[in-house]
Amino acid sequence: MRTLEGRVTVEDVDAFVETLSEVGEEHGSAVQAFDAAYVAGRVHLETAVRHANRAFDRGENVARDRAVEILLYAAGRRQIRRALEMGVSSGETDAVIVVDGGDEPAAIDELRALVDERETLAALDERVLTEFFEISDAERAATDATLTDLVRERVALLDVDK
């Protein structure tokens, strides 16, 4: 798995997603873009990719497309509509694009044209993450786990909820 971080300007979400799909198909990669505010660091994405790949390997995937399965795991949800909230939207967005499998370096090189590269995963948006992943103050107070750990737990629990 490789990531590409930066600001993207999206005029048409469907066209942007289609471009990602075309790059993925060309290079044999799963390509998914996320609004960086919804990502609890690189380890969150690595966990989602690992679980999505395992689901495909075992024939337990929900989505037909591996990039969508990665999105579902990253969101910790089986409902595609709700998981799409993590995706990029129209306008300018700090984003992270995940490329997994195939010729990852070539896919990343091609995707660079879409991204004003800058670090987007360094700081966590605690408000967005706690709301989206439904992590309560009581849950946070009851553990010494980090916010990233709690988000990763949501990713792992998706296997239990099947």
> Which amino acid, one-letter code, is at 161?
D
Coil, strand or helix at 145: coil
Domains: count for the chain: 1
What pLDDT is attached to residue 113? 97
Say if residues 34 and 74 touch (Cβ distance below 8 Å): yes
**Residue 91: strand pairing partners:** 10
Dihedral of the alpha carbons of 56, 59, 60, 62, in degrees to the nearest 10: 70
C-alpha distances out from residue 50 to 11, 44, 74, 102, 142, Å: 31, 10, 10, 15, 28
What pLDDT is attached to residue 71? 97
Local mean pLDDT, 10-residue blocks, the chain (162 residues): 98 97 98 98 97 96 95 94 94 97 98 97 94 95 95 88 59
State which residues form the domain around 27: 2-160
With vertex at residue 121, the alpha carbon angle to CA 115 and CA 127, rounded to the nearest 5 degrees, is: 120
What pLDDT is attached to residue 158? 84
CATH of the domain at 22: 3.30.2380.10
Give the list of residues 6+ apart from residue 106 with CB closer than 8 angstroms, or none: 27
**Residue 97: strand pairing partners:** 4, 33
